[in-house]
Chains A and B, each alone.
Chain A
Amino acid sequence: MKRVVWFALFLVVGVSCLDQPDCFRQDLNLIGISFRKMYDGAADTVVLLKVSATSTDSVFYENVYGATFSLPLNYLNTNTTFVIEQLVREYLDGMSQTDTMFLSHSSKAQFVSEDCGERFVVSNLQLLRSTYDSIEVVSATPSNPAHINIKVYRCPRTNIMRMSFRQLYMDKNDTLSRGKLDSRPITSIINTDAVTTPWLQDTTMSAILLPLNPNTNSTTYNFKFDNGDSNSVTFNYHIGTEQIIPKCPTQNLYSQLDTTTNTFKILKISKDSLQDPPVTNVETFRCPTTNEIKVSFKQIRGSSKVTDTLHITSLTTDYLGDSSVVSADTSAITLPLNPDATTTKYTFNVTGETTSPLTLQLKYTTTTYVFHSVCGTQTIFTELAIDDANTSFYSANMIALLPDVRFPSVTNIEITRK
C-alpha cells in the first residue's frame, strides 16, 4: 500500500510537468525604418502624410511625424511594396513627395498551439529597388517588436539658417560677450512672402530655424514678442549651386549672409554660410536691464518669517503713471526705478488693507557705466534706501537687503508684516 501511495504521488508530479502550450510568440514580420540625414547620419524627424502597401487597402500611418517607424511585411507573399508619402518643405509651402520601396523576403509558417494558432516567421529581407536618394538594409531579419532594418537617408536641406536669442548681463565686460541663451516668449514670426501664415506662433524659444527664399537673394522676417517688442530683419545672401553629395542632385549653396534692414538693437552674423544640420548663423542680444529691483513680502508667524501673499489691485509709479498690476496675488514683485531722478515712489492698492493705498518711496544714487560697448552708456543704481518719510507700507518692518541694483534682479527690499 505504501508503494502505491509513493507512486501515485510521483504520478501527480509527473502529470503536472506535462507540456502545457501557451502563446509564446507572435508573427515575426515587423521591420523598422529609420529616417536619417545623409550629412551626418543623425536621426531625421519627418512628417509622413500616408504610408500604405500596394497589396492591401490598409493605411499604416497617416499624418504622423517621427524618425523611426515600424511596418509589417506581407508574410503571405515573398514581396512587399510600401508607398510612402512624405511632407517636404523646401521653403514655406509644404509639398508631398511619394517614394516606393520594393522589398523581397521569405516566410515560414509554424503551428504554435491550439490556443494560439499559427505564426509566420519572415526572414532574408532584401531591397529590390527604391525611389529614395539613399537607402540601405542594415538587418535582414524582421522581428516583433521591430528593430531597425532599413535606413533611409535624405539629401541636405541647404536653405535653413539658425538664429538665436541671447541676453547680456551686468558683467562689466567692455567687449561684446555672448551672454546666455535667452528663451523668449514669441507671439509670432512672419515671413513677408507669406504674411497670412506665421512661420511660428505662440511659442517660447531661444533659437529658431528660418528658411531662406531659394528664388531671390533676400528674405524678410517680422518678429513680435510677448513683452510687446516688435522687430524686423531682412537677410541678404548669395546663392550658388554645387553637387554636395554624389547621391544627391545639384543643390543651392547659401553664403555671404548679411542684413540690409534690421531693427534688433544688437544683431551679429556669426556664420555667413548655411549648412545642414544648421548651425547658428545669426545672434541677437538684449542689453541688461539696470533699473529693476525685486520686492518680496513676508509676515511673522510665531517665531518664524514666512512668505506673505498680497492681493494687489493696482500699482503705479510716480514717473510712469500707468497701473502696471491689476488684481494679482503676489508674494514678490519687480519694480522699475526712475533713471532720471534719485527717488521713485510706488503706490499700491491692496485688498484688505485699512490704509490702502500704501506707498513705498525709494531713494538712490545714479551713475553711468559701459557694461558692453554695443549697449552704450547705462545708468546704474547704488545706495538704495527706503525713504521712511514718504512710505506708509508697514514702514516699521522694511529692511533694505541690497543697496545695489543687479541684473538678473535680486531681492533688494523685503516688506514684513507682523
Chain B
Amino acid sequence: MRKHIYILFILLPLLATAQKSDTVKQKADTVRSKFKPTGIRFGTDLISIGKSQYVKTFTGWEVNADVDIYRYFLAFDYGSWGRNYSTDSANYSNTGRYYRVGVDVNFLTKDPEKNAFFIGMRFGHSKFSEDFVVDLNDPIWGFLHQEYTNSNVKASWLEMTTGIKVKMWKFIWMGYTARYKFALSMSKTDRLIPSDVPGFGRTDKPTTWGFNYQLFFRIPIAKEK
C-alpha cells in the first residue's frame, strides 16, 4: 500500500503535466521559460514559536522553504520538536529533529501576486530520543521505579497537505498548511514504546492532523514573465 502511495506521490505532478502536453508541444519555448524558478520563499512556523513561548510542555521551531517551478512548488521543511510532561507517576520527555520534502500543486497559476492555493504531498522523516521515568504503586503488583530510554529512534511517514499562501506586503507572504499525516513507521525499540514522534505527533493513532501558520520572505531569482 505504502509503495503505491509513493508512486502516486511521484506521479502526481507528472499526471498534471500530461494533461497539458499538447499545449507544451505547440508553445515549447514559452513553457520552457515558465518552468524556470522565479523565486525562493523562506519562512517559519509561527505556531511552533508561539507554542514554545506559551505551552510549557513544548519546545520547538520549524523553518520552511519552497521554490516555484511553473505551477509546482518544491517544498522543504526542517524542524525541532521536544515534549516534556510530568504526571503524578511519570516524567516523559523527548527531543528530535525532522524534515519533510515534497511537492505542492498551485491552483492559482495566473495570480500576478504569486498567491497560492495548493494541494500536495510530503515525505517526513524524524530522528529522536525519549526518556521516561515511571514511579508508581500498582495496587496488585506493588512499587515500580524504572527509567526507560530510547535513543536515535528513526521514524518516517507521509502527509497530504493543503493550504494557501498570500502576499501581504512587498516580499512578505503569509500562509497556512493543513497536514493529514499517515503511514507512520518506526525503528524497533526495546522496552519503551514511542509516544510522540517529532514532526508527526502522538503514535497511538495511525493517522493524525497537523497545522502550520507560516510567515514567508520571498527572494526573486529571475524576472517574471
Interface residues in A1-44 by Cβ distance below 8 A to B read: 3, 6-7, 10-11, 13-15, 17-19, 21, 24-25
Report the bound CA distance from A77 to B196 in whole Å: 25
**B163 and chain A: residue at smallest CB distance:** A10
Minimal beta-carbon separation of A109 from chain B (angstroms)? 5
| Nearest CB in chain B: distance from A22 CB, A | 9
Q: What residues of B have a CB within 8 angstroms of the CB of A72 in the complex?
A: 140
How long is the Cα–Cα vector from A77 to B211 in the complex, in angstroms? 41
A17: contacting residue among B142, B205, B211, CB under 8 A: B211
Contacts of B30 in A (CB 8 A): none
Number of interface residues of A (CB under 8 A): 33
**Any chain B CB within 8 A of the CB of A113?**
yes
Residues from chain B with Cβ under 8 Å of A6 in the complex:
166
A218 to B105, CA, bound (A): 91
Main secondary structure on chain A at its contact with chain B?
A: mixed
Which of B12-20, B62-70, B84-92, B216-224 makes up part of the contact surface? B84-92
Contact residues in B for A117 (Cβ distance below 8 Å)? 87-90, 136
A121 within 8 A of B: yes
Taking a contact as CB atoms under 8 Å apart, the answer to whether B192 and A76 are in contact is: no
Whether A197 sits at the interface, judged by CB under 8 Å, is no
B201, A19: Cβ atoms closer than 8 Å:
yes
Query: Separation in Å of the A98 CB from the closest CB of chain B?
Result: 20
Interface size on B, as a range, is 35 or more
| Distance, CA A46 to CA B190, complexed state (A) | 39
In the complex, number of A-B residue pairs with CB atoms less than 8 Å apart: 92
Q: Are B141 and A111 in contact (CB under 8 A)?
A: no
Nearest Cβ in chain B — how far from A163, in angstroms? Answer: 45
Interface status of A112 (Cβ within 8 A of chain B): yes
Instruction: Encode contact with A along B164-180: 1 for CB under 8 Å, 0 otherwise.
Output: 10101000001010100
Among B136, B139, B176, point to the contact of A118 (Cβ < 8 A).
B136
Contact B211 A18 (CB under 8 A): yes
Which one of A3, A17, A109, A113 contacts B191 once the chains associate, using CB atoms below 8 Å?
A109
Q: Does A178 contact B (CB under 8 A)?
A: no
* Distance between Cα atoms of A111 and B195 in the complex (Å): 6
Contacts of B204 in A (CB 8 A): 24-25, 112
- From known contacts A14-B213, A118-B132, infer whether A108 and B205 are also in contact, taking CB-CB under 8 Å: no
Contact across chains for B195 and A7 when beta carbons are under 8 A apart: no
One digit per residue, 1 when the CB lies within 8 angstroms of any chain A CB and 0 when it does not, for chain B 64-108 equals: 000000000000000000000111111010000000000000000
Assembly CA distance A21 to B86 (angstroms): 14
Contact among B141, B194, B213 for A10, CB-based, below 8 A: B213
CA distance A114 to B195 in the complex (A): 12
Contact B141 A114 (CB under 8 A): no
The chain A residue sitting closest to B179, CB to CB, is A17
Residue of B nearest to A19 (CB): B201
Q: Do most interface residues of chain B lie in helix, strand or loop, or is the interface mixed?
A: strand
Which chain A residues border B166 with CB–CB below 8 Å? Answer: 3, 6-7
Q: Which residue of B lies closest to A116 (CB)?
A: B87
A114 near B57: Cβ-Cβ < 8 Å: yes
- B49 interface residue, CB < 8 Å from A? no
Interface contact B208-A19, CB-CB below 8 Å: yes
Q: Is the CB of B141 within 8 A of A110?
A: no
User: Which chain A residues lie closer than 8 Å to B92 at the CB level?
Assistant: 111
Inter-subunit contact A74/B141 (CB<8 Å):
yes
A55→B193 CA distance, assembly (Å): 26
| Chain A nearest Cβ from B70, distance in angstroms | 25
Is A367 an interface residue when CB atoms closer than 8 A count as contact?
Answer: no
Q: Tell me how far the C-beta of B66 lies from the nearest C-beta in chain A, rounded to whole angstroms.
A: 18
Question: Is the CB–CB distance between A76 and B141 below 8 Å?
Answer: yes
Partner of B87, one of A19, A24, A74, A114: A114
A82 beta carbon closer than 8 Å to chain B? no
Contact B209 A17 (CB under 8 A): yes
Contact B195 A112 (CB under 8 A): yes
Highest count of chain A CB atoms <10 Å: which of B86, B148, B195? B195
Q: Which of B57, B140, B192, B201 contacts A110 (CB 8 A)?
A: B192
Q: Tell me which residues across on chain A come within 8 A of B140, comparing CB atoms.
A: 56, 58, 72, 74
Q: How far is the CB of B174 from chain A (nearest CB, A)?
A: 6
**Interface assignment of A223: CB less than 8 Å from any CB of chain B:** no
Given the interface pairs A108-B191, A121-B193, the reply to whether A14 lies near B136 with Cβ below 8 Å is: no
CA distance A24 to B203 in the complex (A): 11
The verdict on B153 contacting chain A, using a C-beta distance below 8 Å, is no
Q: Let me know if A75 is at the binding interface, CB within 8 A.
A: yes
- Give the residue of B132, B142, B202 whose beta carbon is less than 8 angstroms from that of A21: B202
Which of A15, A17, A109, A112: most chain B CB closer than 10 A? A109
A19 touches B202 (CB 8 A): yes
16 contacts between A and B (CB under 8 A): A6-B166, A15-B47, A15-B211, A17-B211, A19-B201, A58-B139, A74-B140, A75-B141, A108-B191, A109-B134, A111-B92, A114-B86, A117-B88, A118-B90, A118-B132, A118-B136
Query: Which B residues are within 8 Å of any A CB, using their own CB?
Result: 47, 57, 85-90, 92, 132, 134, 136, 138-142, 144, 146, 148, 164, 166, 168, 174, 176, 178, 189, 191-196, 201-202, 204-205, 208-213
Interface residues of A (CB under 8 A from B): 3, 6-7, 10-11, 13-15, 17-19, 21, 24-25, 55-56, 58, 72, 74-77, 107-114, 117-118, 121
